[in-house]
Amino acid sequence: MQDQNPFSETDSQVDIVELLLKRQAELSALLEVTRAINSNVPSQSLIEMLEMIMQNNLRVKKFRLMLKNIDQFYCVSNFGDELEEFEDLQLIADQLLPSKVPQQLTKHPNPIFNAYDYFIPVHHKEETLAFVLVGKFKNEEKLLDNSVDYIQTLINVIIVAFENKKLFKERLHRERLTREVELARQVQNMLIPQELPNNLFLDVASVYRPHQSIGGDFFDFIQLNNDEFLWCVADVSGKGISAALIMANFQASLRALASLDIGLPELVKRLNTNVYKNTKGDRFITLFIGMYNDKTRLLNYINAGHNASIIIEKDKISTLAKGTTMIGAFDELPFINQGVLILEPDTIIFNYTDGIVEFDGDEEQSLTEDNLMNLLFENRNKPLKQLNNIIIEKIEELRHQEEASDDITILSLKIN
């Protein structure tokens, strides 16, 4: 009995050859993409290679590649027809992505969906990174049987390359930021006095604990001449590198102005002008600044919106509150009141920032100003370093060793 279809065996062999050639072309294209990725070609070049493979190898006439960024999808590649509204593509994603498998759309009742032939999601480690919409294939193309897996693999390779590029950029950014923070920390440490007077006439002790590696607190001690010295404790609004840069600029201004023969009111007025020019009123600084003459025992001070420094003279304790408002908030300070005192021997002046008395808005874990004054008064005869440590230990006890979200600074002076 003769074969009814003498060409069937030949046709089958031709189909196999065509399929093998098709697979070879697909593998070659995938190899080229892999080589391009290993050569670190730009993302746009990978997209162009992808579009060529889709059009020339797979004969795709309509294509959309939607890439996920945070919680939304954005079109990063498309050809064929005019691009639909983003909301339409998002609708497709919302309804089809939960299934996590490719789906044929030609018979879908919604015209937004059946405008395409196939929906192909792309996953990596259980996370959906992208999805592809393809359409207008020739009838003889067996896409679902032969090409969906290939498209999925190809897109997955490219999307993972995108993710790796993004992660690499993020790592470089983190490393650069870490270096910048370390540099800012080193610069800030150079601004903070490392050696403070401790002699027969004056004893000075400090505590400086930035919340992060760099902070917005600042203090300085400046010997003006043989008889006079100036000190300042300040707190800039905000945190991090920007606050540190503002404070570095502030210290430079302070030291430059301190070298001039001007009184404290004029010095604070000029500081305000400099800070306002640099920050345009977006940042402000609170500060306490004092100037003392050892010969006359005269203290001049100005409190610019800062925590009032505490002064202990023999059996009397009070605060140094006279001054003005914070600097840098206004182009001109509305008023400046200077405090003037003649100091008795063995007077203690305790200067600090709000990290001492505030703890993330929790009153139960905060040291009140009254409690602080009581602690200082009870321990007024102890050495300054020990006095400072007593305050720090009390704070840690109240906060149960929890780390605060603010810097802590103390500058205490004992004028003999």
DSSP 292-317: EETTTTEEEEEEEBSPPEEEEETTEE
List pLDDT tens digits, range 296-350. 999 999 999 999 999 999 889 999 999 999 999 999 999 999 999 999 999 999 9
Indicate the class that CATH gives domain 186-415.
Answer: alpha beta
Distance CA 291, CA 222 (A): 9
Distance, in Å, from the CA atom of 83 to the CA atom of 328, rounded to the nearest integer, reads: 51
Average pLDDT over residues 79-98: 76
The pLDDT value recorded for residue 37 is 80
Tokens of residue 1, six digits: 């009995």
The alpha-helical segments, DSSP class H, found in 70-217 are 86-96, 111-114, 148-191
Rg of the chain over CA atoms, in angstroms? Answer: 36
| pLDDT given for residue 1 in this prediction | 46
> Which amino acid is residue 110, in one-letter code?
N
Sheet of strand 118-124, all strands in order from the earlier edge strand to the far edge: 72-79, 62-69, 127-135, 118-124, 103-104
Please say whether the beta carbons of 132 and 65 come within 8 A.
yes
Mean pLDDT (whole number) for 69-88: 76
CA–CA separation, 373 and 186 (whole Å): 34
Which is higher by pLDDT, 3 or 65? 65
Give the mean model confidence (pLDDT) for residues 214-219. 78
Tens of pLDDT along 110-159?
888 888 888 988 877 777 888 988 887 664 555 555 678 888 888 888 88
Contacts of 90-93 with CB under 8 Å at 24 or more apart are 92/119, 92/131, 92/133, 93/66, 93/131
Contact 313, 360 (CB under 8 A): no
Q: Are 343 and 415 in contact (CB under 8 A)?
A: yes
CATH superfamily of 11-165: GAF domain (3.30.450.40)
Instruction: Give the CA dihedral 219, 225, 228, 229, nearest 10 degrees.
Output: 10
Indicate whether 400 pLDDT > 80: no
Return the pLDDT at 13.
54
- Given a cut of 80, whether residue 5 has pLDDT beyond it is no
> How confident is the model over 384-412, as a mean pLDDT?
83
Domain boundaries, the chain: 11-165, 186-415
The DSSP annotation for 234-294 comes to: EEESS-HHHHHHHHHHHHHHHHHHHTSS--HHHHHHHHHHHHHHHHTTS--EEEEEEEEET
Task: Show the CA angle centred on residue 350, arms to residues 186 and 257, nearest 5°.
Answer: 55
- Decide if 265 contacts 337 (C-beta within 8 A): no
Whole-angstrom distance, CA of residue 344 vs CA of residue 323 = 22
- Please say whether the beta carbons of 155 and 63 come within 8 A: no
Q: What is the mean pLDDT of the chain?
A: 83
Q: How confident is the model at residue 7 (pLDDT cuts 50, 70, 90)?
A: very low
- What pLDDT was estimated at residue 390? 94
Question: Considering only CA atoms, which of 332, 316, 338 is closest in space to residue 262?
Answer: 338
Q: Mean per-residue pLDDT for 378-406?
A: 84
How do residues 146-172 score in pLDDT, each as one tens digit?
A: 678 888 888 888 888 888 888 888 888
Torsion of CA 30, 32, 38, 44, to 10 degrees: -90
Asked whether residue 269 carries a pLDDT value surpassing 90, the answer given is: yes
- Residue 362: its pLDDT value, please? 56
Question: According to the model, what pLDDT value does residue 115 have?
Answer: 85
pLDDT of residue 285: 94
More confident residue, 186 or 368: 368
Give the C-alpha distances (Å, rounded to integers) separating 169 from 36, 306, 328, 343, 393.
18, 42, 37, 59, 43
Per-residue pLDDT, 386: 95
Question: Which band of pLDDT confidence, cut at 50, 70 and 90, is reported for residue 397?
Answer: confident
